[in-house]
Structure 1
Amino acid sequence: MPELVAQRERRKTLYVTEPLGSKLGLDIVIIPGGSFLMGSPDDDPDRLSNGSEEPQYLVTVPTFLMGRYPVTQAQWQFVAGLKQKKRKLDPNPAHFKGDVRPVESVSWDDAVEFCDRLSIHSGREYRLPTEAEWEYACRAGTTTPYHFGESINTNLANYNGKYKGTTAVDHFGIANAFGLSDMHGNVWEWCLDHWHDSYEGAPTDGSTWVKDGEDAYRVLRGGSWDCLPWHCRSASRDAYTSNCRTDDYGFRVVCVAPRTLP
């Protein structure tokens, strides 16, 4: 099993690196467990009118580790070269090419296969984040529409089509209090959960919310380079079929927290 390597400490946040070969790694951040209000408040002027961001409710999330950035194309290419578990992966699917740009044009099914291969390679459990984990990690203790405040502009995030495509991860050099970058814009990020039209009946422990029976729609979070600003809010949510691939759909990984870290 490759060892996690402690990289640095910044803003009192510990980063560790999952080795991917001899020259590449995947930075993951320890997200301390805690409780937060999930969803948007009644007085949010940008709250979606379809009711999908309500009602707000208290969620308690256990400690986990999360990718510091969306998965990059270089990281994708390495994992795509590992032994197949259930499905083939295109080693170079992205429309906007660049090793340090986020991989995009990958489906939910593709992202799950990536996590499965990475789990086997590393000996640790990797998966997509639950929707609650994603919002908790994005907010990082904030209650504002964005983790950096009440408003957003194109000096803070890639949205609204200004950049005409994805930008390299950490292009803006802005991280939230947990040390995560690119949580607003750049690429939508797949989550484990099935789509539900509201939060009525949602689990309060941060676990995956699934539906009975077959439902192929899966949650997307964070907005993208091609989105209007309100789609990039911490509470904003969308969904699409698990086999859909577009040039603004990507993902980041979660690692189940081990008992010990370097």
Structure 2
Amino acid sequence: MRNITGLPCLIILLITNISFGQHLPKFVQVQGGTFTMGDEWGVSNKDQRPIHEVTLKNFNISQTEVTVAQYRYYCEATGAAMPKEPDWGWKDDHPIVNVSWQDAINYTNWLSDTLGQKVRLPYEAEWEYAARGGNTSKGYKYSGGNSIDKVGWYDGNSDKKPHTVASKKANELGLYDMSGNVWEWCMDIYGSEYYANSPKNNPTGETKGDRRVIRGGGWGLNASFCSVAYRYGSAFNGELYDYFGFRVASDAKE
């Protein structure tokens, strides 16, 4: 049985008062704690094992994946080019796609300057802890429930495309689409055996490697890829797919 401990209540802090369809992401503050990270069900790839205890400090994470409208606003502000348009066209309330890890980093650097605070991608351990529901987790296999159809868009219900963010059920922290819709880039360098050596406190990934962690599954994949524990490593600057996107994070003010 998975064990999650921490302070007794969740503090939700809206860092910006921006709605889903507007220009900037909305953040939720996640209260730190200790949890068991990895594939507790024993059904996935060995890179999700061994399960191990991780303790995290408080952090902020965006309530949804960065949307097309939010990414376009950044492009218009900086002169950056929009990514290649997907077959279904750009829809403002869809998650942005066809972005590399470096594209996501460029966005976080701009958002840092815009908000006057350091914004980054979530670390992999932060991502999994948030997807599980933080210290209010109910132990679900997917982010927000044990039925993938209720919480995420995957190959069984997506009609081969992403969908409006926050159109499925939120998880315990009020976060959306952490299972399915699009894969989400993380900060960490990927290592297939990293869990055997991962530090307990605030792990940040391997120190060397040419792939970055990507999490959450997506609209074109089956449900097994959408579990809260599933992880994958993708080339950080060369892989562009219409099922790759991201959400953003930052350290919480103590």
Distance 2:18 2:227 in 1: 32
> Are the equivalent residues in 1 in contact too, given 2:144–2:172 (CA < 8 A)?
no
Alignment of 1:103-114 (within 5 A): 103-114=96-107
* Aligned amino acid, residue 231 of structure 2: R
SS in 1 for 2:179: coil
The alpha carbon displacement at 1:79 in A equals 1.4
Relative distance call for 1:25 and 1:149 in structure 2 (3 A) is: closer
Structure 2 length as normaliser, TM-score? 0.86
- Partner residue in 1 for 2:201: 205
- Offset from partner CA, 1:115-161 (integer Å, 9 cap, x none): 011111211100000000000000012333123343422x4310015
Q: Which residue of 1 aligns with 2:35?
A: 36
Q: Secondary structure at the match of 1:137?
A: helix
Number of the residue aligned with 2:117: 124
1:135-146 aligned within 5 A: 135-140=128-133, 141-146=137-142
Aligned position for 1:91: 82
> In 1, distance between residues paired with 2:62 and 2:175?
8
**1:256 corresponds to which residue?**
251
Residues 156 and 19 (structure 1), Cα distance of their counterparts in 2 relative to 1, 3 Å cut: closer
Deviation at 1:211, TM superposition (A): 2.4
1:25 alignment partner in structure 2:
24
Give the structure with the larger helix fraction.
Answer: 2
The 1-side partners of 2:75 and 2:25 are apart by 14
Matched, 1:218 2:212: yes
| Structure 2: unaligned runs, 5 residues or longer | 1-9
Deviations 1:145-182 (A, max 9, x none): 123343422x431001532200010112x111111011
Distance change >3 Å, CA 18–CA 202, structure 1 → 2: farther
Q: What residue in structure 1 maps to residue 4 of structure 2? A: none
Identity level (%): 34
Tell me, yes or no, if the aligned pair for 1:219 and 1:239 is still in contact at 8 Å: yes
Assess if the C-alpha contact under 8 Å between 1:188 and 1:249 holds in 2: yes
- Show structure 1 runs of 4+ deviating over 3 A: 11-14, 147-151
Kept in 2: contact 1:203–1:209 (CA 8 A) = no
Alignment of 1:26-105 (within 5 A): 26-41=25-40, 44=41, 47-48=43-44, 50-83=45-78, 89-95=80-86, 96=88, 97-105=90-98
Residue type of the partner of 2:13? L
Q: TM-score, normalised by structure 1?
A: 0.83
Gaps of 5+ in 1: 1-10
**Distance change in 2, residues 1:12/1:256 (3 Å):** closer
Q: Which residue of 2 aligns with 1:233?
A: 227
What is the deviation of 1:92?
4.7
